[in-house]
């Protein structure tokens, strides 16, 4: 049965399958390199708090990832389908890098992001973490799922494939992603962004910069906000677990995300130990 125009279903040889796998790997690497280029663009062209401009940047990022996913797929429906997911999963570590840190002033990446080359405070990154998470990731992964379902339906495979674990993990992942998006409520978003005005005032006094930076990305203060924040992180970790079991090619990106989060938690723990030690000496 024909695929969606202009794509078609193919029966690649083993050598062609290996070539497709190599291209998927290459696209993942290009996606991660382009994410670093985006960081440079953020620093060169700071867009400020204008939400409209930030959505424009997010749309450009979405279009780029779609173009990258379609690159050299020819008219192969399944190659494009797999490419959308692989390219998107490759950007998960970038998404985590943009997220608010538990202890921004002691996070090892904090000094790197605030170098004269980048000069990217957390307050410049958090909005993109939120917008990319709401716009880019759900769009691409939902498109991946829709193309796979189309393939199953048009080839009378749906009834059989829904019983396979890889498909069940995939469906669970897409549903869980939309749950993550819906749980990240406006109240929590305000909590994460608390202190943005304080950061502006801190520019008048460099001696207060470190304190202001931490206030600018401090964790939600109310019990409701803290609960929502914990739920959000728990859902994200569950999503990473689903991706890990869905396909083995995603595991590299899952481990990268976990490594970044471990650095964040570790720096927060070290800060707590050092802070408590200073308190006892005082």
Domain ranges for the chain, please list them: 14-266
Beta bridge partners of 76: 8
Phi first, then psi: give them for residue 15, nearest 5 degrees.
-70, -35
CA separation for the pair 53, 128 (Å, rounded): 11
pTM: 0.82
Q: How many CB atoms lie within 10 A of CB 163?
A: 8
Angle CA 159–156–147, to nearest 5? 90
Let me know: does 54 contact 103? Beta carbons within 8 Å: no
Question: In sequence order, what are the residues at sequence separation of 6 or more whose Cβ sits closer than 8 angstroms to the Cβ of residue 49?
Answer: 127, 196
Measure Cα distances from 177 to 17, 63, 187 in Å. Answer: 29, 20, 19
Beta bridge partners of 8: 76
> Is residue 233 classed as helix, strand or coil in its secondary structure?
helix
pLDDT at 51: 73
Phi first, then psi: give them for residue 121, nearest 5 degrees.
-70, 160
Which parts of the chain have pLDDT scores under 70? 1-5, 45-50, 103-119, 184-221, 271-282
Let me know: does 235 contact 183? Beta carbons within 8 Å: yes
pLDDT at 122: 78
């Amino acid at each position: 049965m024909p695929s969606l125009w202009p794509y078609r279903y193919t029966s690649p040889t083993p050598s062609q399958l290996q070539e497709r796998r190599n291209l998927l790997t290459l696209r993942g690497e290009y996606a991660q390199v382009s994410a670093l280029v985006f960081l440079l663009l953020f620093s060169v062209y700071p867009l400020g708090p204008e939400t409209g401009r930030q959505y424009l940047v997010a749309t450009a990022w979405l279009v780029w990832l779609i173009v990258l996913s379609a690159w050299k797929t020819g008219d192969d429906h399944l190659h494009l389908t797999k490419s959308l997911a692989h390219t998107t999963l490759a950007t998960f570590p970038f998404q985590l890098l943009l997220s608010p840190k538990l202890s921004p002033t002691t996070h090892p990446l904090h000094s790197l992001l605030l170098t004269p080359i980048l000069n990217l405070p957390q307050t410049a990154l958090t909005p993109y973490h939120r917008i990319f998470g709401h716009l880019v990731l759900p769009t691409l992964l939902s498109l991946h799922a829709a193309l796979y379902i189309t393939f199953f339906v048009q080839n009378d495979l749906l009834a059989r494939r829904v019983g396979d674990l890889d498909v069940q993990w995939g469906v669970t992942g897409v549903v869980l992603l939309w749950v993550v998006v819906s749980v990240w409520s406006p109240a929590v978003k305000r909590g994460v962004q608390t202190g943005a005005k304080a950061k502006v005032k801190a520019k008048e006094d460099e001696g207060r910069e470190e304190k202001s930076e931490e206030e600018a990305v401090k964790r939600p203060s109310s019990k409701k906000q803290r609960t929502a924040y914990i739920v959000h992180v728990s859902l994200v970790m569950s999503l990473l677990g689903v991706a890990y079991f869905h396909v083995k090619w995603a595991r590299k990106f899952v481990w990268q995300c976990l490594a970044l989060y471990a650095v964040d938690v570790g720096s927060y723990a070290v800060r707590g130990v050092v802070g408590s030690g200073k308190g006892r000496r005082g």
